A and B are shown apart, each in its own frame.
Chain A
Amino acid sequence: MAAVQETIDAVKEIGVEKYKYGFTTDIETEKAPKGLNEDVIRFISAKKKEPEWMLEWRLDAYRRWLTMEEPDWARVNYPKIDFNDIYYYAAPKNFEDGPKSLDEVDPELLRTYEKLGIPLREQELLAGVRRQGEPSALDGDPADSVYASGRVAVDVVFDSVSVVTTFKAELAKSGVIFCPISEAIRDHPELVKKYLASVVPVSDNYYATLNCAVFTDGSFVYIPEGVRCPMELSTYFRINEENTGQFERTLIIAEKGSYVSYLEGCTAPQRDENQLHAAVVELIVMEDAEIKYSTVQNWYPGDENGKGGIYNFVTKRGDCRGDNSKISWTQVETGSAITWKYPSCILRGDGSQGEFYSIAVSNGAQQIDSGTKMIHLGKNTSSRIISKGISAGKSQNTYRGRVSAHRKASNARNFTQCDSLLIGDQCGAHTVPYIEANNSSAQFEHEATTSKISDDQLFYCLQRGIPEEEAIALIVNGFVKDVIQKLPMEFAVEAQKLIGISLEGSVG
């Protein structure tokens, strides 16, 4: 059997084209039985050593989910998902099967960590080479301190479990809690009970409800009053196992006057089957607090004919609960076969602010239906939406957004700018804005443009000696500049490169 598997893997290797994160990690995993029923949910809950109230909460969500129907209003097409053909839990069996030293770890992965400024000894933890608390092979190595300056604390979620969280002890000194959500359920039940599903209700939508029933891991962040989180927090999500869904749950709470910047990155192996990713992210921001949430999403997009790839059905919502609070979403979306995602802000507190900066790149047969919702409830609330969609190949890229002002939201302000760039003549860009003002003092502005990289622009660059792919990357990076500038610096460079890679082969 092993030999057959090797052959399959070898053939897969040859098929790898452009998606550089398409590697699979060969480790033994423990899975729940395939399919979804109450026993599977009990299995997950038991694996996570959850208290009874959590299990009941999950089962309740599952029963509600059974009565719901899959939404079909988005501008995406895909065959019906068989929810009983998915594994809902997969976890590496033990770390002994993992790599023994950093030399055995995928160098691309390490380079990514390096770019993020993660010290080598933290990289050992991330790669599963070493367990927290064990001595490091690098003890005493001067190279270890190289990355000590620009630090990022990282949580890595591998299929259904959080593998490791770095810098925990140091963060704890300032009272910041940064841990896997499964741990938070056990160690901080009062916080979880208070805030979980307080922004995205259990029956908010089909995928969010499914997530409530089967979510396996994700990050939990709590920033106490008046604390400015001393470093960037980051979660790296990876779906590794075949036919496995990833249902992560992220909950971030910023107490009065606090600040945190949080980054998430996602990759998945290249597989012919579609994989499901249905996450829920909830942000709660109190008075004068701010959360900056950045995403670089690079799930496997499938091949150019639309075979394989991740179905990305994500509910992200932030609640500006306190006065003068602020949420800023920045996202760079280059992966996934199907994207269905609308990071939103509920501007409840007076004077609260919401921002959404997005770059969505689609190539090949990718379909994106993404945007945001800015719900103005409080007085003097303001929001800003800058969306840049880039479509190439045969892809379809839709911006869908809603801006609304409640009756009592006097002086609500919104500025929306939606720009689409088309590359080639077989792709599509669509803009679907919904604007709803129930207060006569609201001022909403919407600007939209659609442009095409013209042959003349391209020829101009070529004539100056810039090869075609470099020229497209240059023009596209010019197009997305406003949003890239909003990303944390280390991520901005990565994002620019990622956009270049995603558009390779998009012309000619």
Chain B
Amino acid sequence: MIEIKNLHVKIAAEDTEIIKGLNLTVQDGEVAAIMGPNGSGKSTLSYVLAGKPDYEVTEGEVLFNGENLLDMEPYERAAAGVFLAFQYPMEIPGVATMNFLKAAMNAQRKARGEDEYTTPDFIKKVKAAAGKLDIDMTMLKRALNVGFSGGEKKRAEILQMALLEPSLCILDETDSGLDIDALKIVSDGVNALRDPKRSFIVITHYQRLLEHIVPDSVHVLYQGRIIQSGDKSLALHLEENGYADVIASAA
């Protein structure tokens, strides 16, 4: 469970406040969708939860399973179960995807005081997870995200999510740049990970994704605050009418 209380965030290098008193609680097993116009602070929220150093939290707190998330280093947050599927996954030249996966999985296991995977166990796990996402093993021999198509990049993100078994999954515009088929594969991958002990924060512009990943709650983020929350019908309402009337009624 994640509880965000009165969160205020500014860009560290500037004095611009991006998130201005955001409150949001996502229960275990809940899929919460966050929608909102461009520049409302959606990506900033995902980065702040993951611990990106470019942002400064000026007020408020974030409790992750009762622990103060903001006190933790980014890699500690990852080991504690926070996973961010990036909108633009980074390329790591020369590092085979397989090697990257192993480094990440074992680093997290080490941090939690667990034994590292043996190579056969590791390969077995990767093969099973990759099969579900229609990922060819030859793709995993290529350097991570280097020369990957938009669809391959997003599938690689979901593969990492499946293998790292996080308890909070943040999906930052995972649908951007995907064609219908890829969207279906990615959504199926996400749905397969839905679990009573796992929470999701799904950031998107479009109702389209939410037809595949059906959310339990929908929240509208505008100017750094949640201005309206509802169930999945809210997303449909936004799709038909745009953000104008929601913004107007909040003002």
Q: Give the complex CA separation of A480 and B94 in angstroms.
A: 8
A457 x B143 contact (CB < 8 A): no
Residue B39 is within 8 A (CB to CB) of chain A in the complex: no
B160 x A478 contact (CB < 8 A): no
A465 x B75 contact (CB < 8 A): yes
Given A464-B164, A465-B75, A468-B75, are A477 and B94 also a contact pair (CB < 8 Å)?
Answer: yes
Which of A465, A467, A477, A479 counts the most chain B CB atoms within 10 A?
A465
Residue of A nearest to B89 (CB): A460
Interface residue SS majority, chain A: helix
Q: Give the complex CA separation of A459 and B99 in angstroms.
A: 18
Residue B92 is within 8 A (CB to CB) of chain A in the complex: yes
Residue A462 is within 8 A (CB to CB) of chain B in the complex: yes
A465 x B94 contact (CB < 8 A): no
Kindly identify, within residues 454 to 487 of chain A, every residue whose CB is under 8 Å from any CB belonging to chain B.
454-457, 459-468, 470, 474-475, 477-482
Interface size on A, residues (CB 8 A): 23
Of B78-86, B189-197, B211-219, the segment with at least 4 beta carbons within 8 Å of chain A is: B78-86
Q: Give the complex CA separation of A478 and B51 in angstroms.
A: 25
Residue of A nearest to B73 (CB): A462
Chain B residues, CB < 8 A from A482: 94
A457 x B84 contact (CB < 8 A): no
A465 x B90 contact (CB < 8 A): no
Residue of A nearest to B78 (CB): A465
Which of A460, A464, A468 counts the most chain B CB atoms within 10 A?
A464
A474 x B92 contact (CB < 8 A): yes
Q: Give the complex CA separation of A466 and B83 in angstroms.
A: 12
Q: Give the complex CA separation of A460 and B99 in angstroms.
A: 15
Kindly identify, within residues 223 to 255 of chain A, every residue whose CB is under 8 Å from any CB belonging to chain B.
none
User: Shortest Cβ distance from B130 into chain A, in angstroms?
Assistant: 17
Residue B141 is within 8 A (CB to CB) of chain A in the complex: no
Q: Give the complex CA separation of A454 and B89 in angstroms.
A: 13
Residue of B nearest to A460 (CB): B90
B89 x A470 contact (CB < 8 A): no
Residue of A nearest to B47 (CB): A459
Q: Give the complex CA separation of A478 and B94 in angstroms.
A: 4
Chain B residues, CB < 8 A from A457: 90-92
Given A464-B164, A465-B75, A467-B75, are A474 and B90 also a contact pair (CB < 8 Å)?
Answer: no
Chain B residues, CB < 8 A from A467: 75, 107
B143 x A478 contact (CB < 8 A): yes
User: Shortest Cβ distance from A457 into chain B, in angstroms?
Assistant: 5
User: Shortest Cβ distance from A380 into chain B, in angstroms?
Assistant: 32
A479 x B93 contact (CB < 8 A): yes
B111 x A465 contact (CB < 8 A): yes
B100 x A474 contact (CB < 8 A): yes
Q: Give the complex CA separation of A319 and B95 in angstroms.
A: 36
A478 x B95 contact (CB < 8 A): yes
Residue B104 is within 8 A (CB to CB) of chain A in the complex: yes
User: Shortest Cβ distance from A449 into chain B, in angstroms?
Assistant: 10
Chain B residues, CB < 8 A from A461: 92, 104
Residue B150 is within 8 A (CB to CB) of chain A in the complex: no
User: Shortest Cβ distance from A320 into chain B, in angstroms?
Assistant: 30
Residue B18 is within 8 A (CB to CB) of chain A in the complex: no
Please encode chain B, from 146 to 186, with 1 for each CB lying within 8 Å of some chain A CB and 0 for all others: 00000000000000100010000000000000000000000
Chain A residues, CB < 8 A from B53: 455, 459
Residue of A nearest to B166 (CB): A465
Q: Give the complex CA separation of A457 and B108 in angstroms.
A: 18
User: Shortest Cβ distance from B193 into chain A, in angstroms?
Assistant: 16
Q: Which residues of B contact A (CB under 8 A)?
A: 50-54, 73-75, 77-79, 83-84, 86, 89-95, 99-100, 103-104, 107-108, 111, 143, 160, 164
A-B contact pairs, 5 of them (CB 8 A): A457-B91, A459-B52, A463-B84, A465-B75, A478-B92
